[in-house]
Chain A
Amino acid sequence: MKPPRFEYDDPTTTEEALDLLAQHGEDAKVLAGGQSLVPLLNFRMARPDRLVDINGIEELSYIRHDNGTLRLGAMTRQAAVESSDTARQLCPLLVDALHWVGHAQIRNRGTVGGSVAHADPAAELPVVFSALGASFHVRSKTGPRTLSPEDFFQTHRTTSLEPSELLTEIEVPVLPAATRTAFVEFARRQGDFALGGAATVVSVDESGACRDVRIALLGAAPTPIRASDAEDAIRGRRLDEDAAREARVLTEAAITPTGDIHGSGDYRRGLIATMVYRSLLQAASNRGEAA
């Protein structure tokens, strides 16, 4: 349980980090909160030649309300977002989901950007950012890029980040007032990677009909995916038991999650569909106006 030898840099500015990544990117790993990378190092499953530790870059840690968006610096600790009034007011879904990320000790160290860049399909934050239509801001010496979740998440623990690039900010659009959200997941124990989950964002018009519907699924595929069939079926309808039940059936037909020792693919398919059903009913009951 000791990592193999590696070189170590601890830049204090983003520019410095980008210089290092430009020079060593192919052989380097970025160390943020370390909640996934450090165990991988200790198990000798990850063997980078160099670690670029960005914990000392203070300019990457912030929570800002800016012109209709919530901006989160990549190094912002998950616990800081969880306890932020700004985040709770502007994006309750994000805070709801953060309660499910590991345990308090993990969230004290774990960062928002780290979880996104690690791209585990069973992690909460990538799913929530997919449901919210967030933008991922990326920088390198050759210039900045902005990526959608669909473009960012490539497959299991793989993103479209180039070795020379650093994820610097997550920008979350602030939802209109009549939007209801819900995050549900099921894990074998509190704090474990979930066996399945769903993040739901629904806006409802004056007649009570759903307008925008976004449902992102946790653990259904190698990346966060949307339950498009379910979304289509609900749009324009009242969010009630029947709609939720139909969404569940459509989701179950649409996904093919893989199994592991904690649950077979079959089991997860049914479970994730149940999570969609429950998240819709929970969204309907949130703020009390619907259904």
Chain B
Amino acid sequence: MGSATFADDFRRPGMLHATILRSPFASARIDGINAEQARALAGVMLVLTADDLPGGGPAIPMRLFSQPGMEEYLQRPLARAKVRYVGEPVAVVVAESRYVAEDAAELIEVDYEPFEPILDPLVALDAGAPRVHEHTDSNVAGAIVISNGDLDDAFDRAALVVEERISCQRHAAVPLETRGLAAEHDPATGELTVWGTAKLPHVNRRILAQLLNWPAERLRLVELAVGGGFGARGEVYPEDYLVPYCAIALGRAITWSEDRGEHLQATNHSREQVHDVALALSEDGTFLGLRDSFVNNTGAYVRTHGMVVPGMSAALLPGPYVWGAYHCEARQVVTNKTPGGTYRAPGRYEVNLVRERIIDIAARKLGIDPIEIRRRNLIQPEQIPYASGAHTDGNPVIYECGDFPLLLEKACERFGYEDAVRWRREAVKREQRRGIGVSYFVEKAGIGDYEYARVELARGGRVVVHSGAASVGQGVDTVLAQICADALGVLYEDVEVRHGDTRATPDGMGAFGSRATMLGGAAVSQAAACLRERILELAGRELEADAADVELDGDRLAVRGAEERSLSLAELTERAAAAEAQAGSNEPGLSEEAWFQCRDMSFPYGVQLAAVEVDEETGSIDVVRYLVAYDIGRAVNPMLVHAQLVGGAAQGFGGALLEELSYDGDGNLVSSSFMEYLMPTATDVPDVDILVTEDAPTPLNRLGAKGAGEGGAAAVGATLANAVSDALGVEVTRLPLSPSHVAELVRQSTATQ
């Protein structure tokens, strides 16, 4: 405890400190920068503006889901000629201490000519709206249309059509550890090392090498301990270019750590979407068609995630239901706010709210119980595998496994839905109102094509796993060690897992999109299985028995039925080495590697249920009971799965009740510290009951495992919005459910009664 080295703990001899000067304006032209005073301050080593970078600094590319023309909206490390959001980097200062660097940053004079910012994504769509990127002809950076079935016919035939504008507020991952990195160029070896990169070491190495115009083989990225990722941490940001660039320029080690105020305005925001949704139903509640048009406010620039967030929204809005027709138009809109990216269950937290709300609105109008209307419309087990008709980045969405009705029944039973309905009707204190909310959702897991693993039986008998997956604090070391121990037949305690150093592991993707167990685990399992065969074969030779007759139990190999003929793994490695040396082998050591390929995503699914009490007088919400039910296919480590789901739910509660990145009319981020941006703490998160089922293992990997990372978060906004709507008898159409928002709903509710 307390010994982990996080980015800000990492030190090198003579290390310098960087700080970033950020724009105080949401939209302004830069007419000039005078950094002379800053450069002259004692202790200042370097001050750089965009003009000092080669070509003004390279555009940071998309690594996923790009569309033609989107490169026009990319961010460069430092603002050139124009700033487009409050917090945009304008200059970097390197000094002997962070104190001096911050003093110097204050001395840089920037001549700004401010403009009226565009903050509302719907205003940004107006034909007459100024362009956030003046060289483009639109504030729409990308668009997706998904259409199947006869929508007009569905709406013509409908007994009921419900329409609503439903929006999700801008909030963000906000990991407890802010971003940070250190870089050093060793002139003796020519190697540039960057410490503190999380999530995607190998991918980021490739991108960084390209940006810095530096040979990838002389660029080493090292992970360090990571205090939370959640999608936001570990992407390539301006600072990921600037710090190594300055390290090369100065030939000194440099560290930079983001403070919380910077983090809130510099690291990817997420979740800001406005949907116009319409649902057509028959009289018995059968879903005939779903129509949605939405904007995703991605802020000032398109960052590494390209179209991922709106793409995932459009792909998974259909959820676990059968729709006669589905039509969705998604637009990625730029405005003068902090750029956006993914956050745990990206695009799904938002659309689960939209879909599950509009279903409840319809159910109330039709007088059908919320569970019953869902039950009537679920995709049935015999329809699996089920092509939903949606797609993402060109890949069709195919629910490869699942029994949706079964999980709904199990969730209701675990939650005690019938009892909860009775509880809701009980007499309560005058100011209290009770409500129950449910939501059903389909998640996605496993993305990014492949993962690498090498499993080695080292001299002395220890097993070492080298994985291309990464740690974001999710327990990947534990899971990979378990999978390896299982596949190899050795003890968990004897397996050591290494990852997150591009010099030690030749290849890899990383940790994102609930993939580390699915892809990383499958690669380890595959490599370990191959290694097991080699070990048994070798042991058979040494013990003069058939390989099929050798058993591996813990660290001992023995011949079945003749246990006295045995040797330990350690002895095996010694004998193998000797034998190899004698044979003049060119491949010493016992080691196997594997690349596990999987282009298809998996689609785990879940149900969330809540019982709430709303205090009419204060607008506060007491979550009395909460259930997350989730089908994981196969839980490699049930404790970690449980923790993933609870942790995800905690973040979901934040988004539903507390967290909002608010801007004033000038485009200043008002929620710029933890006094304004409220995260749920341990005392704010209710007990979360977790039901993990293994009814539908995925056929996509040999483990049957589906990802667990995002299902906890994905539908908390939806579930609590439904529960509060039920309590008050008015329809919640936006988040968060802050006390003053709820007080407003109470007023509406009183007015309509």
Residues of A in contact with B (beta carbons under 8 Å apart): 1-5, 43-44, 186, 188-193, 195, 261-264, 267, 270-271, 274
Contacts and interface: CB of A to CB of B under 8 A. Distances in A.
Interface residues of B, number: 30
Contacts of A193: 675
13 contacts: A1-B261, A2-B102, A3-B99, A5-B103, A43-B261, A44-B102, A188-B658, A189-B658, A191-B683, A267-B739, A267-B744, A271-B619, A271-B739
A172 B469 CA distance: 62
A261 B261 contact: no
B748 to A, nearest CB: 14
A263 to B, nearest CB: 4
A189 B680 contact: yes
B431 to A, nearest CB: 9
Contact of B743 (A1, A192, A270): A270
A2 B259 CA distance: 10
Given A2-B99, A189-B658, 4 more contacts: A4-B102, A4-B106, A43-B261, A186-B618
Nearest to B680: A189
Contacts of A3: 99
A1 B98 CA distance: 9
Contacts, number: 65
Given A189-B658, A267-B740, A261 B671 contact: yes
Nearest to A273: B617
A1 B259 contact: yes
B738 A188 contact: yes
Nearest to B664: A261
Interface in B278-305: none
B684 A190 contact: yes
B597 interface: no
Contacts of B102: 1-2, 4, 44
B674 to A, nearest CB: 10
Contacts of B103: 4-5
Contacts of B671: 261
B678 interface: yes
Contacts of B106: 4, 44
B751 to A, nearest CB: 15
B410 to A, nearest CB: 33
B701 interface: no
B670 interface: yes
B752 interface: no
* Residue of A191, A261, A263 with most partner-chain B CB within 10 A: A261
B619 A261 contact: no
A195 B739 contact: yes
Contacts of B743: 267, 270-271
Interface in B654-687: 658, 660, 662, 670-671, 673, 675-676, 678, 680-681, 683-684
B618 A271 contact: yes
Give 9 closest A-B pairs by Cβ, nearest first. A1-B259, A267-B740, A263-B740, A2-B99, A274-B617, A2-B102, A190-B683, A261-B662, A186-B618
A46 B56 CA distance: 36
B618 A261 contact: no
Nearest to B97: A2
Contacts of B99: 2-3, 5
Nearest to B618: A186
Interface in B667-713: 670-671, 673, 675-676, 678, 680-681, 683-684
Contacts of A43: 261, 673
Interface in B549-580: none
Contacts of A44: 102, 106
Given A1-B259, A188-B678, A262 B740 contact: yes
Contacts of A190: 681, 683-684
A186 B261 contact: no
Contact of A262 (B617, B620, B738): B738
B662 A189 contact: no
Nearest to A274: B617
B260 interface: yes
Nearest to B675: A193
Nearest to A275: B618
A41 B672 CA distance: 16
Contacts of B680: 189
Contact of B98 (A2, A261, A263, A267): A2
A188 B681 CA distance: 11
Nearest to B100: A2
A244 to B, nearest CB: 12
Contacts of B619: 267, 271
A270 B99 CA distance: 45
